[in-house]
Amino acid sequence: SQTIHQWPATLVQPVGSPLSLECTVEGTSNPNLYWYRQAAGRGLQLLFYSVGIGQISSEVPQNLSASRPQDRQFILSSKKLLLSDSGFYLCAWSGGGGTAYEQYFGPGTRLTVT
Amino acid sequence: AQSVTQPDIHITVSEGASLELRCNYSYGATPYLFWYVQSPGQGLQLLLKYFSGDTLVQGIKGFEAEFKRSQSSFNLRKPSVHWSDAAEYFCAVGPNSNSGYALNFGKGTSLLVTP
């Protein structure tokens, strides 16, 4: 069966510090991968998606970036965090084709920028 | 444009009572529709999905949803709510071929269950 991992689970970082959040998927190959940010009362905001290794598309201009160095690894980064980067970050994967559009989510990372 | 509206931000029901959470969507073609549940501090879990066929779909944890094309709705129901059902519920529509087949999510409905 497929599993998706995210770490760390929680993170407290000062403004201006770098960020690296990691997501890995097990039990599937060539998944579509997604990073979402969730703010209270605002639902899920799609930040980045990737349909293959090295293929990253950004949905929202911001000081965040994403990379996919391996098929089942997705990394969210920032060189300098802003207060507005605080939130709950969710990684998700989907089969990416046919009728396999449902997304499966990781447990999330709670980021607090101080 | 694709969008999902969940008209109710908060809903409170008594344990054992029936539940209906509303979802309306806008989508240019035949939609794929989903309901997810999120417990506090957790990721989202897929409850059920509709692709085609029977418009009444069954999901996990005793939930069901009905697709009504004429009303552009996909409401979630449960005949008898348990205290453990208290959570945030998200309706989603897709896929969005312009965003890697991502789903568009509603803003969620927070369910409170009272004794």
Are B43 and A59 in contact (CB < 8 Å)?
Answer: no
Q: Give A51's contacts (C-beta < 8 A, 6+ positions apart).
A: A32, A57, A96, B100
Cα distance between residue B43 and residue A11, in whole Å: 16
- pLDDT of residue B20 exceeding 90: yes
Cα distance between residue A13 and residue B17, in whole Å: 44
Cα Rg of chain B, angstroms: 14
Give the nearest partner residue to B95 out of A6, A46, A101, using CB atoms. A101
Cα distance between residue A78 and residue A44, in whole Å: 19
Give the nearest partner residue to A105 out of B32, B44, B102, using CB atoms. B44
Given this model, what pLDDT does residue A100 score?
Answer: 67
Task: Compare all CA atoms of chain A with the CA of B10 and give the residue at the minimum distance.
Answer: A41
| Residues B43/A36, Cβ–Cβ less than 8 Å | no
Interface test with A, best of B3, B10, B103, B109 (most A CBs within 10 A): B103
CA nearest to A97, candidates A13, A31, A7, A12: A31
Between residues A61 and B99, which one has the greater pLDDT? B99
Average pLDDT value for residue range B1-28:
94
Given this model, what pLDDT does residue A60 score?
Answer: 84
- pLDDT of residue B83 exceeding 90: yes
Are B101 and A101 in contact (CB < 8 Å)?
Answer: yes
Average pLDDT value for residue range B59-73:
96
- pLDDT of residue A98 exceeding 80: no
Lowest average pLDDT, out of A10-19, B5-14, B15-24, B96-105, goes to B96-105
Q: For chain B, what is the HEC assignment? A: CCEEECCCCEEEEECCCCEEECCEEECCCCCEEEEEEECCCCCEEEEEEECCCCCEEECHHHCEEEEEHHHCEEEEEECCCCHHHCEEEEEEEEEEHHHCCEEEECCCEEEEEEC
What sign does the dihedral A22-A23-A27-A30 (CA atoms) show? Answer: negative
- pLDDT of residue A41 exceeding 90: no
Between residues A97 and A56, which one has the greater pLDDT? A56
Given this model, what pLDDT does residue A99 score?
Answer: 60
Q: Model confidence over A71-90: pLDDT tens digits?
A: 999 999 999 999 999 999 99
Given this model, what pLDDT does residue A1 score?
Answer: 84
Band of residue A96 on the pLDDT scale cut at 50, 70, 90: low
Given this model, what pLDDT does residue A97 score?
Answer: 61
Task: Compare all CA atoms of chain B with the CA of A41 and give the residue at the minimum distance.
Answer: B107
Q: What does the block give as tokens for B61?
A: 């944890």
Most confidently modeled range among A11-25, A30-44, B18-32: A11-25
Q: What is the mean pLDDT of chain B?
A: 94
Q: What does the block give as tokens for B93?
A: 């529509």
Any bridge partners for residue B46, and if so which?
Answer: B36
Are A102 and B95 in contact (CB < 8 Å)?
Answer: no
Nearest-Cα distance to chain A for B95, in Å, is 6
- Which residues of chain B neighbour A21 with C-beta distances below 8 Å? none
Q: Model confidence over B54-64: pLDDT tens digits?
A: 899 999 999 99
Give the nearest partner residue to B107 out of A42, A57, A106, using CB atoms. A42
Residue type, B78: K
Are B32 and A99 in contact (CB < 8 Å)?
Answer: yes
Give the nearest partner residue to A103 out of B41, B103, B108, using CB atoms. B103
